[in-house]
Amino acid sequence: MCGITGYIHFNRERIVDPTTIRKMNDIISHRGPDGEGFYTENNIALGHRRLSIIDLSTGDQPMYSLDNQLVIVFNGEIYNYIELREELLIEGFTFKTDSDTEVILNAYLHWGIECQNKFNGMWAFALYDKRKEELFISRDRIGEKPLHYSIFDDTFIFGSEMKSLFQYGIPKNERHELLEIYLTLTNIPAPNTFFDGVFKLMPGHFILVKNGTFSEHKYWDLPEIDENNMLSDKKLIYNKFEELLDDSVKIRMRSDVSFGAFLSGGLDSSSIVGLMSKHTNKPINTFTIGFEDKAFDESKLAQDVATKFGTKHFLGTVNPEQFDEILNRTAFHYDEPFGDSSAIPTGYVSKFAAENVKMVLTGDGGDEVLSGYKSYQGIKLSNLINQFPSPLINFAIGSNTVVSKLSKGKIRYKFNKINNILQTSQLEFVPRMAQKMAYTDLNQIKKMTSTLPNKITVEEYMSDIMSKSTYKDDFYKMMYLDFKHELPNDYLVKVDRMSMAYSLEARVPFLDHRLIEFMVQVDKNVKMQGWERKSVLRNSIGKMLPESILNAPKKGFGVPLREWFKDGAYNSFLENNLKNINEILDKKIINSIVNQNNTGQKDNGNFIWGMIMLNKIME
């Protein structure tokens, strides 16, 4: 796990400046505190920051092929590097290190750019072929590792984080036309960024730079499915799922340093810890973050898992006392607006874990692979609601609204959620998902951003994603949207930035491409039997878990922001941290949203956090 940077002038006669690549590299030292390295020759410069996990003594980068004609900088891990190394040895290749980086070099020599399809892992790498005078940049299938790039100053510039590109000199010209999308979805989706001319390489894509030209290509996508002939043999599915996830965990435990696991107390992370315990005789280090607000706290459930599997368990607590520090650190590491408030506890648990280990396995991706979010239950519920006549549904909405206004606190929040389900059930897929994904009323967001020139609506963005999908059933459409938007633009960004902020490597077993390609083809009624979420996991690996985990209601990795921001002590904080956006967004609506949260009319805590993050980036 590392950080990479680089640039290549399109003019071959233009010599690179070594001080520029050093500045680009220094700004991401948190991604690799164990070492740095540079390659500068003629019109190309490559930089690398190292976090040593595998082959501690001979894995330094940039790394060269034996004939010195290839040079690579690599961020990530190739988990099947041992198997690929054996395959390449049989083919006559030789190795001077035990690193996965050298496996990439020899794999490229043997298979060319098709080597990407041989890798099981997470990665972003830049490989320069001196013979072809070609730069080959690749990003992993799902988007676990980031890669940003820009064409500026007649130069192709790239880096793990945008801050490296800004160190080169790229201007920060904000793209306010994307703000409806950001305020609805809490992120700026790839390939866009918040800054003009700066882009994210899409997951499953690669770039070739040669002869002053740039081209982007796709090498992987979700498999096509036959919705009338999905996999439905439960026994086969349970066995295959367990086999694939078990092997995924096993190969992700390959490490030359101490490691552990994030343990939230949910089904996914508990299952990962249970499988890890099968492959080691030593106690696993597990790390949990709790909350004083019991509605958000799963630490008791995490302790049940720790006890069951005999882990060495560490428990910390999130509190709002250092909010300014949290805000500044979060903004620094994301470089652009990022409004998913679960970045806060992810940062806490990463810092906590990094004091004891250098690598962790996490349960991220389980909801996507298993179609386990509550939204999938919502799709089933919407289909059920739509069997009733529209007048009856409208009557229920009106009655629920009256009851909601007469209620207070958590009861009122629940009635608001019910109303949202009733109101959106009759909408088409894209507008329904846009409404559900917003942390406040979508109409308020649209009014707030109504004066922005050339505004791109959230429906336009989501329609563009779904136009590339061949899936027909709303359940499978939701699955497609999760893999194409939620994972790469939100959850994986969150985990990468917050773990790397503390020089901690995070590995995600649920996102093994073999597991994804298999589970995408599983029938929805096997994935969700009746109203039961994650039926496949419950009926396979779940059998080894404590009953308390199987019976617990789902909780997101959230923060009690609605209560924090209702505290009068935060009045001046909110006033100071919403100043910049008041100049471009509708101030009256911003104040109304804050007031709705203060009075308990609506839970706008997460939305307010998103506005604060936007304000911070715009300072």
- Active-site residue list: 2
- Separation CA 28–CA 523 (nearest Å): 43
Half-sphere exposure of 531 (CA within 13 A, CB side): 9
- Separation CA 540–CA 345 (nearest Å): 29
For 442, the 3-state DSSP assignment is: helix
CA-based Rg of the chain, rounded to a whole angstrom? 24
Q: Which residues of 270-309 are buried (b: 16+ CB within 10 A; e: fewer)?
A: bbbbbbbbeeeeeebbbbbbbbeeeebbbbebbbbbbebb
Beta bridge pairs of residue 37: 48
State the burial class of residue 7 (Cβ atoms within 10 Å of its Cβ: 0-12, 13-18, 19+).
Answer: buried
Token pair 């109504």 is at which residue?
450
Distance of CA 548 to the CA centre of its chain: 28
What is the DSSP code (8-state) at residue 577?
T
- Residue 123: which of 159, 158, 82, 74 has the closest Cα? 74
Contact 487, 368 (CB under 8 A): yes
- Please name the amino acid found at residue 250: K
Contact 462, 430 (CB under 8 A): yes
- Residue 27: which of 171, 125, 200, 163 has the closest Cα? 163
Pairing state between β 312-318 and 285-291: parallel
Written as six digits, the tokens of 136 are: 């080959």
Beta bridge pairs of residue 72: 63, 127
User: What element of type H or E holds 433?
Assistant: helix 429-437
For 148, the 3-state DSSP assignment is: strand
Q: What are the φ and ψ backbone dihedral angles of 119, each rounded to 5 degrees?
A: -85, 140
Token pair 């001196």 is at which residue?
130
Beta bridge pairs of residue 216: 207
Which parts of 37-119 fold into alpha helices (H)?
81-90, 100-111
Within 10 Å of residue 2's Cβ, how many Cβ atoms?
30
Q: CB within 8 A of 401, min separation 6: which ones?
A: 419
Q: What is the DSSP string of 321-371?
A: GGHHHHHHHHHHHHSS----TTHHHHHHHHHHHHTT-SEEE--TTHHHHTT
Residue 342: C-alpha distances to residues 420, 476, 503 (Å): 22, 26, 19
For 567, the 3-state DSSP assignment is: coil
- Separation CA 552–CA 212 (nearest Å): 57
- Separation CA 530–CA 243 (nearest Å): 25
